[in-house]
Amino acid sequence: MKLSRMAGADIVRVALSMLVAAPTMAEEVMPAGLHGSVGLGVGVRPAYEGANERETRITPNINLFYGDTFFLTGMKAGANLWKHTTEQGLSLSAGPLLALRRGRDEDDAPTGLGEIDHGLDAGGFIRLRKDGWQARADVRKDVTNGDGGATVNLSVGYGMPVAQNLRLRANLDTAWASTAYMSTYYGIDAKQSANSGIAQYAAGSGFKQVGASLSADYAISQEWGGFASLRYTRLIGNAADSPIVAALGSRDQVATTVGIKYRF
């Protein structure tokens, strides 16, 4: 548990230090009105959080913005209701956030563990940007499945053009989860133990994962573009020690996506 807390603190420290030391690059200006991109991708990802098996799916790729205030990106929607730029060029924004939460299908889970319903999280975020760097923190709480628990998500990333039509972004992240969340996804209660034959397991709160990702956007034309991403997540703490992961799944989670999108 102590190691998990240290890992999270170190990531935050590195994020802030890199943000301060960022090289100079022109900040991207968001156009007024509705803009963004919509597309489709083919992705391979773990069947559920902690799974060893992977599934292939066709998924929408949505990144919509209204000015620099409202956004709908992937599984998250929110609004930059508070915005401030310092004399040093550090841009800060914060506001409310909604996010879809993945569940676990009973057919994919180990026999006897049952399913976890997909849900909706509500919370808030704060974001810092300078040049090509971005650091972000958000707090999310399940609002559709009773006490499904809460998470705190921290990330830092850097994006830059590497060719005339190609832009890359690298990202590091970590996540802390409450006891209720950990019990839902990684705990094994008496009923699940009796149905599955797996020993009971109580998962407490703490940092549950660290991750890294690399994404690429390629401009085919002014309107059309291709995209690809690779993400690696390492489960840690009580999540990694759960029999659902240690015995029946995998601590190492890899997801990839490739697709095409239309920009406007």
Question: Taking the domains of the chain in order of start, what are their residue ranges?
Answer: 2-263
pLDDT at 32: 83
Ramachandran area for residue 50 (φ above 0: left; ψ -120 to 50: alpha; else beta) = left
Token digits of residue 97: 């956030």
Give the mean model confidence (pLDDT) for residues 107-133.
Answer: 93
CA separation for the pair 42, 56 (Å, rounded) = 7
CA separation for the pair 10, 45 (Å, rounded) = 27
H or E segment and range at residue 17: helix 2-20
Stated pTM of the model: 0.85
Per CATH, the number for 2-263 is 2.40.160.40
pLDDT at 29: 63
Kindly report which listed range (59-63, 97-101, 142-146, 254-258) carries the lowest average pLDDT score: 142-146
pLDDT at 4: 42
**Contact between 101 and 123 (Cβ < 8 Å):** no
Tokens 């190691």 belong to 3
Give the mean model confidence (pLDDT) for residues 250-260.
Answer: 98
Q: How many CB atoms lie within 10 A of CB 198?
A: 19
pLDDT, one tens digit per residue, over 211-239 is 999 999 999 999 999 999 999 999 999 99
pLDDT, one tens digit per residue, over 157-214 is 999 999 999 999 999 999 999 999 999 999 999 999 999 999 999 999 999 999 999 9
